[in-house]
Structure 1
Amino acid sequence: MLFSIFENSKKRNLISTAPKYLISIVGPTAIGKTALSIKLAQHFKTEIISADSRQFFKEMQIGTAAPSNEELASAKHHFIHHKSVQDNYNVGTFEKDAISCLDQLFKTNNVAIMVGGSGLYNDAVTKGLDYFPEVKPSIREELNKELEINGLEPLITQLKALDLITYNTISLDNPHRVIRALEVCVGSGKPYSSFLNKEKNKRPFTTITVGLTADRELIYNRINQRVDIMINNGLLEEVKTLLPHEDLNALNTVGYKELFRYLSGEWTLEFAISEIKKNTRRFAKRQLTWFKRNESTLWFDYESDLENIITSIKEQIS
């Protein structure tokens, strides 16, 4: 008994003093990140943090391609369906929650896995966030009122005049992103982009980023197939249950916003589905652009042998 206690204590001390590694799995949607994350978690006997900003919400299961119950049972996951679409949960809060979770995981394991296609949320954990000056709530209220009355175009035009760099880099079809950038420009009197890429908090772990990719045509075909599967699995019925909340930011999401327009009578179902496919392909293109910025990423074809990926990771660790 005493020997067992001594050995367990010795093991804990070795873990506490050893370097920590976060294996971050990135890539375009529908490429196979979830499957790889589970295999790596099983190999390293560790747990998975989801950095997919839409899989947080329990009401959005089908349209976010969240892990199935079987997949969730294959490895312990964090930040899957732990919030409601009505909760005000943003990237800053996620950063704090994820770092706190990693602190706990690293007490019992030197390796943790993170997976997700939301580039900003991924970077929040691996690099830390850029910090911005406080802005009066009234500025956002005015911008939201402008959006409601006149639509997104005048806000985009205003952003172009105040911060051309941000205008050229963010998703201009995302009202939340446009308003966030504008409120900083207006509230601080400085471009939103001037606050980016400053020195951030250093992380007490090393990130090893693994990227999955494929030929663009194959990625697009996989996306089209996934959308068809989602529709067959009941995505339209899921969207119908969310109609009372369609104005929430969480639901300004590909797969949901298009079907809202079908349900309002604006589009046919066939056209809405074609728009989901088109917008998801555009999203995948933006994901690849975002993730390709990281020159240290270990890129693999989506059909690469698992052992080759594990070998490359272990070479980075050693």
Structure 2
Amino acid sequence: MHNYLISIVGPTAIGKTTLSIKLAKHFNTEIISADSRQFFKEMSIGTAAPSKEELKAAKHHFIHHKSIQDQYNVGEFEKEALQTLESLFKTKNIVIMVGGSGLYVDAVSKGLDYFPDVDNRIRDQLNADLESKGLPFLQEQLKLLDIKSYNSIAIDNPHRVIRALEICIGSGNPYSSFLNKDKTKRSFKTITIGLTADRDIIYNRINERVDIMIKDGLLDEVKNLIPYKSLNALNTVGYKELFNYLDGNWTLDFAISEIKKNTRRFAKRQLTWFRKDDRILWFDYETPLDTIIAELNKKFN
């Protein structure tokens, strides 16, 4: 029998964590998190990290293993995740991976694209431009240099925009021209499950989750992170909006409404990313576990 990585993807708040634990129990295995926001131990409530009970129900890897002050990127995650998988596959034929960060999911299951080294001064200048001229300036620059990337990456994420721009400028070629080249073959097979629902259901689940986060103490979590708010890890939905409230720019009600709106936009981008992969087995979020397991069993050989 081959070694299999069962990857669970889909929009935020759809129920990926719950399904991953059920499958981990069924297959007597462990879970790798590919949610790039849940890596950081200081960010728990706002990232909807698994609860203590959920972490006890199945062994997880890559949950709260880093600090927001650590430098950590997708390349390092790919390397560490592959090392963890190699170790787990010595005693298990199946491992579960769960997460809505498409780039991090793809890094493990497919491998990263190769990019040329570029002068660090280019990134420094782009960060300075972000600070002085704002994200829209960088977005327009990317639109001119690489319209394909402009239309496909998370354009509201400064880190992603700067990464694309530094490759465009440093190499003289579009960032998109380096994507989807031949990559290193994996020693395991990946079966990807996608959870979805009607848009109204997804949006309602997001709104409810944000309300629960606020009730569970998200504002206090963000208050404790004020000294670090300039860090890239905290430039994320749920945190940046409450920093605006704490800075006196917004009311609390408006900040909460912005968290909901930006999370809905994030979910839309997640679905756009994952729907590009025609190998994903899509299930309604209420599909019975037995049905999903039956479909998985058909894929094993």
Query: What is the TM-score of this pair, normalised by structure 1?
Result: 0.94
The Cα of 1:156 is off from its aligned counterpart by 1.4
1:153 matched residue in structure 2 = 136
2:178 matched residue in structure 1 = 195
Q: Does 1:49 align with 2:32?
A: yes
Partner secondary structure for residue 92 of structure 2: coil
The Cα of 1:44 is off from its aligned counterpart by 0.5
Gaps of 5+ in 2: none
Q: Which amino acid aligns with 2:134?
A: G
2:13 matched residue in structure 1 = 30
Gaps of 5+ in 1: 1-17
Partner secondary structure for residue 141 of structure 2: helix
2:84 matched residue in structure 1 = 101
Q: Does 1:273 align with 2:256?
A: yes
In structure 2, distance between residues paired with 1:301 and 1:174? 29
Q: What pairs with 1:252-291 in structure 2 (closer than 5 Å)?
A: 252-291=235-274
1:142-182 CA-to-partner distances (Å, cap 9, x unmatched) read: 11111111111221121111111111111221111111111
1:247-306 CA-to-partner distances (Å, cap 9, x unmatched) read: 111111100010000001000000000000001011111111111111111111111111
Q: Which amino acid aligns with 2:73?
A: N
Q: Which amino acid aligns with 1:195?
A: F
1:166 matched residue in structure 2 = 149
In structure 1, distance between residues paired with 2:138 and 2:285? 39
The Cα of 1:78 is off from its aligned counterpart by 0.1
1:175 matched residue in structure 2 = 158
2:125 matched residue in structure 1 = 142
1:3 matched residue in structure 2 = none
Q: Which amino acid aligns with 1:30?
A: A
Q: Which amino acid aligns with 1:85?
A: I
Q: Please point out which of 224, 243, 248 is paired with 2:226.
A: 243
1:130 matched residue in structure 2 = 113
1:173-210 CA-to-partner distances (Å, cap 9, x unmatched) read: 11111111111111111111111110000101111111
Aligned length: 301
In structure 1, distance between residues paired with 2:153 and 2:41? 27
1:58-113 CA-to-partner distances (Å, cap 9, x unmatched) read: 00000000000000000000000000001011101000000000000000000000
After TM superposition, the runs of 4+ consecutive aligned structure 1 residues lying more than 4 A away are none
Q: Does 1:317 align with 2:300?
A: yes
In structure 1, distance between residues paired with 2:130 and 2:242? 21
Q: Please point out which of 88, 93, 98 is paired with 1:110.
A: 93
Q: Please point out which of 178, 203, 213 is paired with 2:196.
A: 213
In structure 2, distance between residues paired with 1:84 and 1:270? 29
- CA RMSD for the aligned pairs? 0.7
1:209-252 CA-to-partner distances (Å, cap 9, x unmatched) read: 11111111011001000000000000000001111111111111
Which stretch shifts more, 143-152 or 118-127?
Answer: 143-152
Query: What is the TM-score of this pair, normalised by structure 2?
Result: 0.99
Partner secondary structure for residue 168 of structure 1: helix
In structure 2, distance between residues paired with 1:206 and 1:278? 36
1:89 matched residue in structure 2 = 72
1:113-168 CA-to-partner distances (Å, cap 9, x unmatched) read: 00001011000000000010001111111111111111112211211111111111
Partner secondary structure for residue 152 of structure 2: coil
In structure 2, distance between residues paired with 1:98 and 1:200? 17
